[in-house]
Amino acid sequence: MAPASKTLKIDGKDISIPTGLFINNEFVEAKEKAVFGIENPATGEIVIEVQEGRADDVDIAVKAARKTFKSKEFKEMNPAGRAALLHKLADLMEQHKDELCAIEMLDTGKTHKQASNLDVPGSIGTLKYYAGWADKILGQASFNVPGTFSYTRREAVGVCGQIIPWNFPLLMFTWKIAPAFACGNTVVIKAAEATPLSALYMCQLIKDAGFPAGAINLINGYGKNAGAAIASHMGIDKVAFTGSTVTGRAILKAAASSNLKKVTLELGGKSPNIVFPDADLKKATCHTGTRIYVHEDIYDDFIKTYTERLQKVKVGDNFDKEVDQGPQNSKMQYDKILSYIKSGQDEGATLHLGGKIDEIAQKGGKGYFIQPTIFTDVKPDMKIMREEIFGPVVAISKFKSEEEVIDFANDTSYGLAAGIHTKDYERAIRVTSALEAGTVWVNMYNFVHWSMPFGGYKESGIGRECGDSALENYTEIKTVYFNMGLRAPDALD
């Protein structure tokens, strides 16, 4: 029996959300009939229970995906047909954008500004972009070897396992499924256990759009069960993961120990932001990350301007369109952030602003609200300067020279992204070239676009998401030679 959908009232809207696993275009019960609760981070209360998939459910989903991948109908589907389905899905997202925005806000704690300006339109744009690629995945032809005609084919990898994180559940869902499907693969995707609701809603839209049964399959579940099963499954040909470096290592080991499946990993980061003395301070304090290096000549001015900005940040109900910062995503993440704040204090950094639970936003002690927090005079070896926090905690340090700050910036095991602020574009080119990061922003920060590759150096990952670079992750290259009068190999010059 199919698990019943549940109607939630979100931001004044009655929204029906499926609760089952999505396998072969149907919402189904997990084999063990286990469920787990999804909480509203603004209150800490469970709002819905969904089916919990485990290894047996992953196996069922993989078999469904494999059957579809090998079917004559799927193999012979015109690439333009795959493009049409991605466009149809994008159109359905447009029609249901208010519902998707509300679900994402409920599930993650994101504000309306974040969900409506980035997550939903970014997801729609991703689908349309890869729809445009579906019939442009081409090979090459060559007459370079005398006596032969050769060409290459870009062929689908097969069944792709995909594991997405809690921080951008809707966006990561489309980042993963769109290039995979455009290239002719089938998918078994696992949503993060904290934030599966937008993926579940998307699966209903996938069915409504007319995707072939088994093309996209969704497993709700925990990493230790469902995620581990995907990474080690012998029937999965490629796995893509976005999440922590620790988990990425485990997935890489599982992939190597099973069938040596192809792996792409978009992992952690601790991205440096460098503010040079000629920076526009207003712009620099509006576009910063959480690891900031400021030139000593403007350090005090920057701290003053940045403090004034963060003091104006409104923390509270993320469904209030005037709110700038909602609750943290989960109790686990909330406790982790508070532990980092304590670590910064214990290690001797100056707690300049915040550092406490936001009791006004909590309203009766409920929800996971933390004040925007600034630490100053942070030393390079402190945890808050070296480890990814994923919360409203900023660590600021000063520097003297360009050479020094490049060393500071690169002194990390990560290399996901970086930002610099300067009006000197010769300096900008020098520094962006010297930084060991997959993305570097100049006079802006944290902007990504589906048409440009995103991924990291060093322990921040393997491979790239987005752009045409992602297509390489989902295709195999086959070389074909035709004998057109080739002489015997031992006679070749």
**Annotated active-site positions, please?**
266
CA dist 25 and 385 (Å) reads 46
DSSP string for residues in 24-67: TTEEE--TT--EEEEEETTTTEEEEEEE---HHHHHHHHHHHHH
The one-letter code for the residue type at 352 is: H
3 state DSSP class of 327? coil
Which tokens in the block code for residue 169? 């559940």
CB atoms within 10 A of CB 307: 17
CB-based burial label for 49 (10 Å; 0-12, 13-18, 19+):
middle
The one-letter code for the residue type at 169 is: P
Closest-CA residue to 393 (of 331, 339, 324): 339
Which tokens in the block code for residue 187? 């998918």
Question: Does an H or E element contain 94, and which?
Answer: helix 79-95
Question: Does an H or E element contain 481, and which?
Answer: strand 475-483
Asked whether the beta carbons of 463 and 264 are under 8 A apart, the reply is yes
3 state DSSP class of 325? strand
CA dist 90 and 87 (Å) reads 5
The one-letter code for the residue type at 118 is: L
Asked whether the beta carbons of 460 and 267 are under 8 A apart, the reply is yes
3 state DSSP class of 484? coil
Closest-CA residue to 394 (of 406, 377, 408): 377
**Interstrand relation of 475-483 and 148-156 (parallel, antiparallel or unpaired):** antiparallel
Count Cα atoms within 13 angstroms, Cβ side, for 404: 12
